[in-house]
Amino acid sequence: MFLDDRKKRILQAIIDDYINTAEPIGSRTVARKHELGLSSATIRNEMADLEEMGYLAQPHTSSGRIPSDKGYRFYVDQLMKSSELTVEEMYSIRSAMETRINELSQLLKRASVVMSKITRYASMAATPGKQNSVLKAVQVVPVEKGKALIVVITNAGIIKNSLVSIPETVLPECLIKVSNIFNEKLKGLTIDRINLPVIREIELLIGSTSDILLPVLNGVTDCINQIDCSEVYLDGTTNMLNYPEFNDVVRAREFLNLMDTKELLNKVLDDINNSSNYINITIGGENKIVEMRDCSIITTTYSLGEIVIGTIGVIGPTRMEYSKVLAAMDYMRKKVNEEINKLTGKSTKDIKKNK
Partner DNA sequence: AATTAGCACTCGACTCAATAGAGTGCTAAC
Partner DNA sequence: GTTAGCACTCTATTGAGTCGAGTGCTAATT
Q: Which parts of this chain interact with its own copies (CB under 8 A)?
A: 100, 102-103, 136-137, 139, 141-144, 146-147, 149, 151, 153, 157, 159, 161-165, 176, 222, 237-238, 241-242, 246-249, 252-253, 256-257, 260, 343, 345
The torsion angle over the Cα atoms of residues 13, 14, 15 and 21, rounded to 10 degrees, is 110
Nearer to DNA, 27 or 287 (CB): 27
Secondary structure (3-state) at 277: coil
Which of the ranges 24-32, 96-104, 126-134, 323-331 carries the binding residues for DNA, by CB under 7 A?
24-32
The span from the CA of 343 to the CA of 240, in Å, is: 33
Nearer to DNA, 32 or 334 (CB): 32
Query: Phi then psi for 78, rounded to 5 degrees?
Result: -130, -25
The span from the CA of 343 to the CA of 264, in Å, is: 30
**Is residue 64 involved in binding DNA (CB under 7 A)?**
yes
- List the one residue from 7, 51, 174, 351 that touches DNA (CB under 7 A): 51
**Is residue 62 involved in binding DNA (CB under 7 A)?**
yes
297 bridge partner residues: 282, 315
The span from the CA of 202 to the CA of 28, in Å, is: 78
- List the one residue from 11, 13, 19, 29 that touches DNA (CB under 7 A): 29
**Is residue 5 involved in binding DNA (CB under 7 A)?**
no
Containing 296, the helix (H) or strand (E) segment is strand 295-304
Residue 37 binding: pick among DNA, its own copies, none (C-beta 5-8 Å cut-off by kind):
DNA
- List the one residue from 2, 61, 88, 144 that touches DNA (CB under 7 A): 61
Sequence-distant (6+) residues with CB within 8 A of 211 are 166, 167, 170
Q: Which amino acid is at 244?
A: P
- List the one residue from 12, 65, 194, 232 that touches DNA (CB under 7 A): 65
Q: How far is the CB of 4 from DNA (least distance, A)?
A: 10
Residue 306, CA atoms < 13 Å, CB-side half-sphere: 4
Nearer to DNA, 28 or 117 (CB): 28
**Is residue 68 involved in binding DNA (CB under 7 A)?**
no
Runs of H (alpha helix) within the chain: 5-21, 27-33, 40-52, 69-74, 87-98, 104-119, 172-186, 196-206, 213-228, 249-260, 262-273, 322-344, 347-354
Burial label for 284, CB within 10 Å (0-12, 13-18, 19+), is buried
Nearer to its own copies, 84 or 254 (CB): 254
Nearer to its own copies, 285 or 305 (CB): 305
Task: List Cα–Cα distances, 105 to 49, 159, 305, in angstroms.
Answer: 49, 9, 18
Nearer to DNA, 52 or 291 (CB): 52
**Is residue 24 involved in binding DNA (CB under 7 A)?**
yes
Which of the ranges 63-71, 271-279, 280-288, 296-304 carries the binding residues for DNA, by CB under 7 A?
63-71
Q: How far is the CB of 248 from DNA (least distance, A)?
A: 12
Residue 100 binding: pick among DNA, its own copies, none (C-beta 5-8 Å cut-off by kind):
its own copies
Sequence-distant (6+) residues with CB within 8 A of 130 are 191, 192, 224, 227, 228
Q: How far is the CB of 175 from its own copies (least distance, A)?
A: 11
Q: Contact positions toward DNA, by CB under 7 A?
A: 23-29, 37-42, 44-45, 47-48, 51, 58, 60-65
